[in-house]
Structure 1
Amino acid sequence: MGLIEQQWARPQAIEELQRANSMHTGEAPSSKQKKTHYVGSQLVPKASYVEKLVVHMQQQIASADQSGSLFQRTVNVHNRYTAYTVAMLMFCTGYRSIRDPLPKWDQLSLSRRMMVIADKTDDAQSHARFLPLPTIMVEQIQHYLRHREAIVGRLKLYLQQQWDSPFLFLDTYGHAKQVTPKRLQEHLNWSGSPPLNINRHYLHTHLKESSCSSELVDAFMGHWDAGQEPWAKYSTFCPREYREHISAAVELMLQRQGWRAIEGAVL
């Protein structure tokens, strides 16, 4: 949290900095300079911070196999690779930090480049979201599925049961573990330990700055009240316009952040 908060200089801090500079330079701070005010969530990270997180995760994957036994290297590579893939999914879909971000295979269609998210909904699935997947994410999931098949086949003697969820972590004994927010945060090891939901804050802001309408952004983020469901039977919401605008904005965002599809090392 400290690192996130340091990204913004508060007006009081700016004034103090100007006052300190004037003491050293002999120049008085300009009285005409406007104060900087910020509105909205304080958890929206700067683009430069997110880019550093992406580089950090990619470096973690590259350096995971440099020490330890073959078994330890296999486990470390897999866990970091899983964390990277889940983090990418969170940043391009606005997934909330929950258990099993993708609990069922039938929630995903790579051929249609679409997925269904039900991370905050009721028994009637009234807040389920239909999300287009950018090309980079589709490629990364395809790489991860091949990696997962290889890792499960190699360690099936250690797996205590058949593992149906697409994503899984491994403990030091090779036993499959559910992807939980706590385990994900440990394996990501982000600088400053920011909350995992910075992805939603960042994505919401980026879509608005990309000139996506509030209606499209609310449908993407799952922000609607009863009777406003974009996917309801009599809704006038346009799925084609939704996919066109959202896909373009998210694809460009991932490219700028430095995300890239990485093949699994354990094959």
Structure 2
Amino acid sequence: MTKKRLAILVGIIALLGIGYVIINGNKLLPPAENKSTLANQNDDLFEKIIAKASSINLLDVSESGATGTAWLAVYEGKTYHRVIAKNMPTLPGTDFYEGWLVKDPVPSGFVSSGKMSYDPTTQEARLDYVIDGDMSDHNLIVITSEPDDNNPAPSKHIIEARFPDSTNLVLPSDTISKAGSYEDYSQTKIALAASGDVVLFFHAPWCPTCRALNSDIEKNLGSIPATVTILKTDYDTETSLKQKYGVTTQHTLVQVNQDGALIKKWSGSSKLTNLLAEL
């Protein structure tokens, strides 16, 4: 049921109080990202965008007593979407809940926003979803229950709602304050020092202090200034870099300019704040 790309005319029961909504799904939609696989930095960005996104209460159309809230926003060429649903009945067997973004009021396409995670103890279902492109015209949010039968069409509607046409779902580019980055070393990233600070962190997985700093950076990615790039550099394999900068011990940090020349070298920063204080 997930990752549906429909190429046929299908009818789905919208239960909006006005009968049936017929959706022509012959529009090829861009591939979606499963947010759970995104890097921590993108997770942080996702949460910031959802905090600024428009939200709407989802209405029960199945007489199940289910309720929910949906968030939807477009930011810098991607669509960000979250649904949290409550009082969702436990489904039989391998059936599952699935989310949909539907183009409305003149339906001409829809896309699955994925299989929802479900906790039978709390009867809460949720999904987080990111897709390339502006999907603000797919402003009808539908949650369905689905049998595990490989049928690409939506099944029974549980909760749904449509954002009013007056809702501006596109966030300005300056809505989210930009953060710097923490990523694996690549020689091409050295050029970023032309407009900011680039630091090589010589990290070894067997080094306790390296692991501690790595963990603190990952927990505070949003606190990295926009002009700072920290490159996680493998102490065990980057022999030529160690020779170039005179690195003899793990947990060494090296600031370089855009040509890769040494600006500063130090060790012992146990937290991100300590590292940034050296710049």
Band the TM-score falls in, shorter-chain normalisation: under 0.3
Q: Which has the higher contact order (CA 8 A, sep 6+)?
A: 1
TM-score (norm 2): 0.20
Instruction: Looking at secondary structure, tell me which structure has more strand per residue.
Output: 2
Higher percent of residues as helix? 1
